[in-house]
Amino acid sequence: KKARDDRRGIAAYESGDDSVHLREMQIIHSLPKALQHNQLYVVYQPKESLHTGKCEQVEALIRWEHPQLGVVSPAEFIPLAECAGMIHLVTHWVMDKVLQQQQQWRAQGVNIRVAVNLAGSDFEQDVVACISHKLQQYQLTGDAIALEITEGVLIANMSGTCEKLQQLRQMGIEVAIDDFGTGHSSLAYLKDLPVDEIKIDKAFVDDLLVDRRAQRIVLTTIEMAHHLGFRVTVEGVENSRQRELLKRMGADLLQGMLFSNPMRGAELAYHGDTLQLNCMPLAQSL
Ligand code: C2E
Ligand code: MG
Ligand code: MG
Ligand code: MG
């Protein structure tokens, strides 16, 4: 298996910390059964369109309340699952849950695209055939989903991944680059990127109000992305001053706890033809 030094799993094995090792073994060992028995669930975090003020897309995020370990964050178990060669189990499971939820929403007249996070090793499998098969199985079309991948995944196998992304987009699926700006990418790779959206990483937003250079980077990234034909989402927006600044900078969509935390599918309610959150978005009450 490919080893990446930013993985906590690898670091733990090297440090020889037995308690960390044990925890990680336990996580990996219990994951397949936990998925089978639906101990995990999916929450959906809305993205706010700055053009319409409405929620037009949600992102699916996986959650796990482990019977012994308590809440285990995806930031911990996703890299472990990838290391252990199990990520396809997670991806299949999430895709099934998302498409089942989509069937329910569609039956209620709700039309919203759901973004699913993919991991690098998903692209080592036949991700195109798998997704196309699942859409057929649930009688849905490509406009039901979007896919989020990080820069690292693209760079690992640029031409192979781009080809698969292009095929997915031909099915009407949208593609976004997640955590944009934190990978080891060069500007050159952006030129021919077959994507619809880039998501500027929260790290830039955290410094936005205090750091002029972070401001410049975000503004320049938004302008460049627009010139290249990409929509821009900014993640991790937590307060209305960040929101106002990002709106002036021309960002298209915002995601973060200011607009809405991730919620269970049933907590997203529809009124007329627009999705509204059962909790009032903070941005509008401020
Ligand atoms: P991501 O895709 O970049 O997701 C954004 C993360 O930021 C989520 O953490 C979300 O809950 C959190 N977040 C959103 N708004 C705010 C905010 O305003 N403030 C702060 N502090 N955090 C915010 P989460 O759900 O813990 O997921 C962490 C990462 O785990 C995700 O990062 C993604 O890379 C991965 N992940 C989550 N679900 C899945 C999945 O189903 N499949 C795969 N392959 N990866 C997943
Ligand atoms: Mg994401
Ligand atoms: Mg992200
Ligand atoms: Mg991120």
CB 128 within 8 A of CB 97: no
Among 85-94, 181-190, 230-239, 266-275, the minimum mean pLDDT is found in 266-275
Q: Whose Cα sits closest to atom 3 in ligand 1?
A: 179
Mean pLDDT of 67-92: 96
Confidence of residue 281 (pLDDT cuts 50, 70, 90): very low
Q: Supply the residue whose CA is at minimum distance from atom 17 of ligand 1.
A: 236
- Encode pLDDT of 13-57 as tens digits: 555 678 889 999 999 999 999 999 999 999 999 999 999 988 989
- As a whole number of angstroms, the distance between CA 99 and CA 4 comes to 31
The mean per-residue pLDDT over the stretch 182-196 comes to 81
- Can you tell me the mean pLDDT for 244-265? 96
* Ion ligand 2 nearby residues (CB, 5 A): 117, 148, 178
| pLDDT more than 70, % of the chain | 87
d(CA 139, CA 186): 39
Share of the chain above pLDDT 90, in %: 74
pTM, two decimal places = 0.91
Cβ < 6 Å from ligand 1: which residues? 45, 60-62, 73-75, 78, 90, 94, 117-119, 148, 178-179, 235-236, 238, 255-257, 262
- pLDDT tier at 157 (50, 70, 90 boundaries)? confident
Structure ipTM = 0.98
- Interval between CA 61 and ligand 1 midpoint (Å): 6
3-state secondary structure of 1: coil
User: Which of 50-54's residues contact partners 24+ apart within 8 Å by CB, and which partners?
Assistant: 50/246, 50/247, 50/251, 50/252, 50/253, 50/254, 51/252, 53/284, 54/274, 54/275
Beta pairing partners, 107: none
pLDDT value, residue 16: 63
pLDDT at 276: 56
Strands 253-254 and 55-66: unpaired
